[in-house]
Homo-oligomer: A and B are copies of this chain.
Amino acid sequence: MAIAVVGSLGLDTIETPAGRAEEVLGGSAAYFALAARHFLPVSLVAVVGTDFPADARKQLEHPDVDLSGLEVQEGKTFRWEGVYSRDMNTRETRRTELNVFERFRPKLPDRLRAFSNVFLANIDPVLQREVLDQLKDPRLVLCDTMNYWIHGKREDLLAIMKRVRILLINEEEARELTGEALTHRAARAILELGPEAVVIKQGEHGAFLQRRDLYFTCPAVPIESVIDPTGAGDTFAGGFFGALARMGRVTDRTLRAAVVYGCVMASFTVEYFGVKGLLRVQRSEILRRADSVMEMTRFSLDDTARLLR
């Protein structure tokens, strides 16, 4: 029942209108694992350099996070620096140092090759394929991607999409991938590329899921103050996949609930710099926020149906 995630780990320097954080634990695998572990055990496959701080590693150490797939290579850890706009809807990358991540060739330990729940976080689709090729029983494989691969490795990405069950992608990237300006049309075009379902992440507007004739939308959880949006999408993926795998079946019903948990988990990440929000949160708070999404979206048409029909 556990989930394996293959992705990046790094040290992020982040500037937002709310402040600045230097060299905090980041990377898609970190956010994913620390979100998903609230639902199921997670095994993390990633690489860091010998300079990876003990502090950062400590944040990943948790009974439900297996770090045996975490490689330490001679050299420096992946570093990223970004600055967010005033409304935090856009960001500018100031610096990307791939360092040891540049030579990352994920090799899964035998135990992990048997995993059927695998998340291919946003890494080179060539590496995503190499991971897929190592899996013995890839029943529930989800993947994420980004504009860099959409433009730079489109063919590799399209090949991956024929082999994954659900694609997670943000709204702008879905448009770039498909050339469709309308989100639901972009979603349908993606389903034609292979996945059984697609989740389009809409940032402050929540998320949209399509599977066959199911359309589902879920709003973001309103947060009193957004401190740092970094990792919100990877956190969404962790909450979504965690809840889905925990429920044990992929149906319209479980997909709807999984999207809600994706939005809920992302709301904890944006409240603090880095992964701090995910480290603090208790399960009772997760359930409470899921209830608040229900409260924010439920309505009845009984009154109007009576008046208008």
A interface residues (Cβ-Cβ under 8 A, vs B): 17, 39, 86-88, 175, 181-185, 202, 204-206, 208, 215-219, 222-226, 243, 246-247, 253-254, 256-257, 259-261, 283, 286-287, 290-291, 294-301, 303-305, 307-309
**Taking A184-B222, A215-B222, A217-B219 as contacts, is the C-beta distance between A304 and B261 under 8 angstroms?**
yes
Task: Identify 14 residue pairs between A and B in the complex whose beta-carbon atoms are under 8 Å apart, listed by A's number.
Answer: A86-B181, A182-B204, A182-B223, A202-B205, A206-B217, A216-B296, A216-B297, A217-B219, A217-B297, A257-B303, A260-B301, A261-B304, A287-B308, A297-B298
The 10 closest A-B pairs by CB, nearest first: A256-B299, A184-B222, A217-B219, A87-B181, A205-B205, A297-B297, A215-B296, A247-B303, A257-B304, A290-B301
- On chain B, the residues within 8 Å of A184 by CB distance are 222
A286 to B202, CA, bound (A): 27
- By beta carbon, the residue of chain B nearest A291 is B301
Stoichiometry, as copies per complex, reads 2
Q: How far is the CB of A285 from chain B (nearest CB, A)?
A: 12
Q: Which of A39, A202, A308 has the most CB of B within 10 A?
A: A308
* Contacts known (A202-B205, A222-B182); A283 close to B296, Cβ less than 8 A: no
B309 and A256 contact, CB distance less than 8 A: no
A283–B34 Cα distance when bound, in Å, is: 49
**Residues of B close to A87: CB separation below 8 A:** 175, 181
- The complex places the Cα of A303 from the Cα of B257 at a distance, in Å, of 8
Report if A308-B294 is in contact (Cβ < 8 Å); known contacts: A184-B222, A216-B299: no
Contacts of A286 in B (CB 8 A): 308
Asked if A260 contacts B299 (CB within 8 A), the reply is yes
Q: Which residues of B contact A216 (CB under 8 A)?
A: 296-297, 299
